[in-house]
Structure 1
């Protein structure tokens, strides 16, 4: 049974989500503000966080930043603002997915299940090596020069998908199909944001990438030969 924390100040929305997810055999805890939510995360283990952007004390972006300082748990952000920049900011600071309000609870459930699969999937013991970069799928750890990379669950899986297909150009459609369950269309810029974040961890110069290359008008390719 997955244990989910919801940080949402709209009590009607929070109660609806709690009831719906509980019916789906999930254990749900709700907090009405960011401070209480962070304290709950520090006290107990949760499998995923549903985080509203508009909170009464500290906003969801700041909560996300603070959570990422001590946890790589999957985070799904909710916002009523409908601003693409909010989505980009959320992804840049470490959120795994984004859902605008109002939303269909079934879509939220599908997205939560998807990020839980990405965060907890157990692969057969497989290690990919590309020069100084190593990706251990079974341990869900990527390292550069022996140092662990602080990737979110989504970013790790995105990096792994590209690395498994090293040398092959992959479109956004192909990437999202390989990631399974991330319901975004091929023109969504979320993939680009995550690629940028991954590059900041694995590239010596993110502005001149050598590991993940952009193929203009097509998608991305993970270079086979790396130093």
Structure 2
């Protein structure tokens, strides 16, 4: 298992890294909430402290849940009921108060990861006259290939796999540029304009203040 440890206390983080290693797991330590948003793609679970260097852990959890369903176990010194309720309602899968018993922590971590069934991966999609091949990064319209840049294809694939549903700008930025809150929103606008121009057979509706929806044919 690969675990992302978000903890601002380096001694606590070192103890968690050591415990995970002894249990046969690998881990990455970060101390900033913004780094969680950069590294969550590469792990199977997140251990989240609510006291981080750049933001409150509850805010980091909210931002993470806007773009990812990765399992999250909160490990914090905050034992009050309000923090527990806010974290669990905000998308945390479990909540432990420091000091924690390491064997219990590992057991709870295993339990929350098991709840998440592996996602079914699709390599090909057909949307009316348009066909997308994710493995080849290839798109055809009526059998004729359309040239898209890598990011244009990833943007279209992100919308196509959620056809008919609203997709937030944060989700698109996260999936295409691997940072939901990077300063690439202008890049998103430019890339989307190119996709609309190159593949007019598909309709992408702008949802003001939220994001976009690729209309299902």
Give the structure-1-normalised TM-score: 0.51
Q: CA RMSD in A?
A: 1.9
Shift of residue 66 of structure 1? Answer: 0.7
Indicate yes or no: 2:49 matched with 1:52.
yes
Distance in 2 (CA, whole Å) between partners of 1:22 and 1:12 is 15
- 1:16-35 counterparts in 2 under 5 A? 16-35=15-34
Shift of residue 75 of structure 1? Answer: 0.4
- 1:144-159 counterparts in 2 under 5 A? none
- Cα deviations by residue, 1:140-194 (Å, 9 ceiling, x for unpaired): xxxxxx979xxxxxxxxxxxxxxxxxxxxxxxxxxxxxxxxxxxxxxxxxxxxxx
1:85 corresponds, among 73, 82, 86, to 82
Unaligned runs of 5+ in 2: 120-163, 167-217
- Cα deviations by residue, 1:88-113 (Å, 9 ceiling, x for unpaired): 00011111100001111111101001
Distance in 2 (CA, whole Å) between partners of 1:57 and 1:121 is 32
> What SS is found at the alignment partner of 2:99?
coil
Q: Which residue of 2 aligns with 1:177?
A: none
Detail structure 1 runs of 4+ shifted over 6 Å in the superposition: none
Rg larger in 1 or in 2?
Answer: 2
> How many pairs align?
122
Distance in 1 (CA, whole Å) between partners of 2:22 and 2:76 is 24
> What SS is found at the alignment partner of 2:115?
helix
1:95 corresponds, among 81, 92, 97, to 92
Give the structure-2-normalised TM-score: 0.53
Distance in 1 (CA, whole Å) between partners of 2:60 and 2:83 is 14
Distance in 2 (CA, whole Å) between partners of 1:17 and 1:79 is 13
Distance in 1 (CA, whole Å) between partners of 2:34 and 2:68 is 16
- 1:178-193 counterparts in 2 under 5 A? none
Distance in 1 (CA, whole Å) between partners of 2:87 and 2:18 is 26
Unaligned runs of 5+ in 1: 123-145, 149-227
